Every structure is written in structure tokens, then in C-alpha cells.
Amino acid sequence: MSGGAPAGVDAWRVYWQPGCTSCLRARELLRAHGIAFESINVRERPEALAALAARGLRTVPVVAHGERFVLAQDLDELAAFIGVRVDRERLPLDVLARRLERLLEIAAALVRALPPERWQERLPQRDRSWLDLGFHVAKIVQAFLAAARGGELRYEDYEERAPADAQSAGAVGDRIDRTREAVAAWAAGAAAAAAAESARELRTYFGRRSAWTVLERSVWHVAQHVRQLQHLAIEVAGTSPATRLAPGDLAGLPVPEAVWDREIAPPGTAAHGDAQRIY
């Protein structure tokens, strides 16, 4: 339970899994507004996955209240569902694109700083290694670009692991660099009609959303994992990468307060968000 949520048909419930950025942000939003909820880690409770599947739901986070529920990937949709107003900065499309390029530059440097003996070390309660985390950063952006080019952003893209030809920090760093170049090419084309491009609807696994919404979500999703890579490289592995996050790199992005889920933080990590705040 979170905050002593009552067990009943009208109780709030949040279905989540470790390492899911949207899951962490959704739970923080409810906590910030004093909404008590049952916190359901679907990795620990397979019956919860079955309950979601019975409703035709294959992904998390899901926030439910009685028989009502919302796929909580879209922060604005989640806020409306729980009945709160969230006033926040909304960076324009060109700024988001430049910020994404910067975050990918940092991600590539941080991945290359990871020591080889820790590349295959698993993150707690998740079938994802340190190296997979860097690969995941590239996949987030590639999934957005696929949707922006007329395809669909698929949840399955987020679940991929580093393939056989990307089992070194150098190989994953190179993939991130190529992804950054692809973002720059897309942004150059989108800049000529930024307003129309921002409003254009893209297909995603959580419904049709504006390109701006999907881009912003992709940028803060990447930003959160870059924070985690930085923590692993510097605080856990003790390396000193020359390229790292600065406070301005996160400005205007609705990243979670915590770097890791408080329930499953890696060894050596502070338990709560304020102590985990790193740039």
C-alpha cells in the first residue's frame, strides 16, 4: 500500500514494474497530490498481470479507480483522470529536439565510461543489464522516429535487449551516436513547419497522440535513463566521465523526482527521491 490506501472497489491502484520511467512518474504524481493508492508491482504479482490482461491491457503503468482506468503514459491524461491540474513548462518542439540531441551525447559518453566487468550486471527486479540500459536509450528515440516517419511507436521496442552485435560499451555508444544524428536530420526537416509537425498525430501503443506529446515523453524518458546511467557510472562504478549532466539539461522536463524506484534501488543508492537527485 501507499499512504494507507483502503482495500475496496473504489480504492486507487497503480500497476507498475521496476525500471519503468512512466510508472515512477505516475506514482509520484499521485503522491504529490495526496492520493493514497495500492502500489502493485506486476513483476512480483503475476495475478495482477492476469487482471490487466482480462481488460485487454498489456502494458504498464495503469492507474485504476474502481472500474475506471487510464494508461498512464500521458501525464496530462493522467492528471485529468485523477482530477488535478498540473502547471508545468512546455518546451517547444525545436527546443525538445535540441535537448534530445544533448541527452544522447551525454548518454553515449556515460555508456562508454561503464567498466567492462559491469556491462552485464543486472538491474534489480528487471531483466535488463547496465549495457541494455544504454541500448534502451537509443531504442526509445528510434521508436519515436519510427512513429514520426509514419510508423507506430510499439511497446515491444522498449522491451528489446542489446543484440549480439552490441555487447560492448563502444558498440552501444556508437548506436546512440547514430541515433543522435537521426534526430538532428528529423529535426531539420520538422523545423520548417514546427507548428504543424507538433500537432500532427502519431500512432502509439497508448493511442494516437500529437507529435509534440510523444516527443516530450520520449525526451524525459531518455533524460531519466541518462540520470540512471550517470549514477551507475559515477556513484556505483566510481568512474569519472568528462561528459555528464548539468542542471540545465533537465530544465523544463517533467522527470521524476527520484532516479530509481525507491522499492528496488540498486546497491549504494539512497532510498528516497531528494537524496537521489543528481544532475
In contact, 204 and 157? CB cutoff 8 Å: no
Q: Does domain 12-82 have CATH number 3.40.50.11540?
A: no
Region 173-186 average pLDDT: 97
- Domains 12-82 and 93-276 belong to one CATH topology: no
Please give the Cα distance from 29 to 242 (Å, whole number): 34
Region 230-240 average pLDDT: 95
Instruction: For the chain, give every domain's residue range.
Output: 12-82, 93-276
> Does 160 score more than 60 pLDDT?
yes
Residue/partner pairs of 175-181 with CB below 8 Å, 24 or more apart = 175/135, 175/138, 176/104, 176/107, 176/108, 176/111, 176/134, 176/137, 176/138, 177/104, 177/108, 179/104, 179/138, 179/141, 179/142, 179/145, 180/101, 180/104, 180/105, 180/108
Q: Does domain 93-276 have CATH number 1.10.357.10?
A: no
Q: Smallest Cα–Cα separation from 198: which of 187, 185, 207?
A: 187
Between 5 and 12, name the one with better pLDDT. Answer: 12
Share of the chain above pLDDT 90, in %: 69
Share of the chain above pLDDT 70, in %: 90
Please give the Cα distance from 68 to 187 (Å, whole number): 38
pLDDT (0 to 100) of residue 103: 98
